[in-house]
Amino acid sequence: MKAVSYEGKYKMSVSEHPKPKLKSPTDALLRVTTTGICGSDLHMYDGRTPLDKGTVVGHEIMGVIEQVGDAVSSIKEGNRVVLPFNIACGFCFNCHRGHTEACLTMNPDQPHAAYGYAGMGPYQGGQAEYVLVPHADFNCLKLPGTADDQWEDDFLLLSDVFPTAFHATELAHVSAGKTVAVFGAGPVGLLSAYCSILKGASEIYVVDYVRERLSKAEELGATPIDFAEGDPVEQIFTLRKKNRGIQESLRPGEEKMQGVDCAIDAVGYQARSDESPETENPTQVLENCLRVVNATGSIGLIGVYIAPDPGGKDKESKQGIYPFPIAEFFDKGITMGSGQAPVKKYNEYLRDLIVNGKAKPSKIVSHRIRIEDAPHAYEKFDKRIEGYTKVLIKFDKKAA
């Protein structure tokens, strides 16, 4: 079968690999119809994670079940399914409590597992024609329709970025009427803004410096903030001061609430410097979140912070250790949540929003390609050029 594999820093290849075989009675074999290139795949592409050469990558996966093990009872051959990027057993202490992002049994080294990702267990990735699904009854989300129908691209986003974005809004305590600042207009950032809209937020700002991505944020219904034009936090403060309805509603003293209720870090440790976008400042977005959130507000830290980081600038950053303004955090009484999304907690409900026409997450998809074009797409996506925002690899239909 054809698959995308990591061959070294800035180098992906498409080559032939053995088709997976069932290893356990609880396994299933999935014929992939659509898979995605995720922003977090770029951490591996950039050489910022330890990853063995030849590893098949990709954790956004959907398709049709081709074969099931003898112990699989609720999923059948021919079923259309999408896989959570978290691989979980369904029976450990954390899985029982709904924390499938921290399954204790599927990875011998860490309390989490995923397809084709550094440090997340020995599992083949899904940027391939076939993938093996452990504990298929638990990990498969059954879908209506047929391959390449009107829901295909939306359903693929249930594997990661749509539930992850929704989780970001949960971590940031977004709810009806609240104000939100999202830092990063990649796929998760854009869908975090979209999920904030679905939840009824009253004001949503999206911060980035890539014009195509900011235009997409505006198209979704958010206010774009280009940090290349100046301090993004001050830009948000200024826009809020111009909101006459808000300003005329404030009692004396409430003018101190010049920021927002909720902030989302959808960038992580490869954040760019506000003053010099061509250089990294790992804590830039986190610092901006702390500044922009009003006292007693909330932050959702969904952007990846990882260790070890071979590309870190010094000994501490190579181990994921960064300075943190804890005095400001304490003084403002901020609540902050972080970590991978427990996809299974949300994916059924988000599927039904799609099916019933209440959500269309595929609005963020920019490119649909053949697997042979994946190395080129990685390069474009990594450089944030030519509108590469969300790339899907198609197997069952001709790529556009």
Give the separation between CA 206 and CA 193, rounded to whole angstroms: 7
Residue 399 included in any domain:
no
Q: Residue 26: its pLDDT value, please?
A: 98
Same domain, 317 and 177: yes
pLDDT tens-digit profile of 320-366? 999 999 999 999 999 999 999 999 999 999 999 999 999 999 999 99
Same domain, 93 and 199: no
Q: What is the pTM of this model?
A: 0.96
DSSP code per residue over 246-274: HHTTPPTTGGG--SEEEEEE-S-TTPBPS
pLDDT range class, residue 228, cuts 50, 70, 90: very high
pLDDT digits (tens, 9 = 90+) for 3-35: 999 999 999 999 999 999 999 999 999 999 999
Q: Are residues 57 and 174 in the same domain?
A: no
The DSSP code for 93 is H
The answer to whether the beta carbons of residues 241 and 258 sit under 8 Å apart is yes
| CATH number, residue 173 | 3.40.50.720
Tell me: the pLDDT tens digits for 71-108? 999 999 999 999 999 999 999 999 999 999 999 999 99
Which pLDDT band holds residue 306 (cuts at 50, 70, 90)? confident
Picking from 291, 319, 338, the residue at the C-terminal end of a domain is: 338
Q: What contacts 314, CB < 8 A, 6 or more positions away?
A: none
Amino acid (1-letter code) at residue 307 = A
Same domain, 203 and 248: yes
Residues 175 and 246 in one domain: yes
Regarding whether 390 and 353 lie in a shared domain, the answer is yes
Task: Indicate whether 196 and 317 sit together in one domain.
Answer: yes
Which string of b and e fits 328-355 if b means at least 16 CB within 10 Å? ebeebebbbeeebbbbbbbbeebbebbe
Q: Quick one: 117 and 34 in the same domain?
A: yes
Domain CATH for 69: 3.90.180.10
pLDDT of residue 310: 87
What's the pLDDT score for residue 278? 87
CB atoms within 10 A of CB 110: 13
Give the SS3 label for residue 211. Answer: helix
State the virtual CA torsion across 150, 141, 390, 227 in degrees, nearest 10.
Answer: 120
Looking at residues 281-298, what average pLDDT do you find?
A: 97
Residues 317, 182 within the same domain: yes
Contact in structure between 186 and 174 (CB atoms under 8 Å): no
Task: Supply the range of the domain harboring residue 283.
Answer: 164-338
Residue 400 belongs to some domain of the structure: no
The pLDDT assigned to 11 comes to 97
At residue 399 the predicted structure's pLDDT band, cuts being 50, 70 and 90, is low
Rounded CA separation 229/367 (Å): 28
Element (DSSP H or E) covering residue 381: helix 374-383
Report how far residue 134's alpha carbon sits from residue 130's, in angstroms, rounded to the nearest whole number: 13
Q: Could you write out the DSSP letters of every residue in 291-349?
A: HHEEEEEEEEE-S---SS-TT-SSHHHHTT-----HHHHHHTT-EEEES---HHHHHHH
Same domain, 302 and 197: yes
Amino acid identity, position 179 = T
pLDDT tens digits, 104-147: 999 999 999 999 999 999 999 999 999 999 999 999 999 999 99
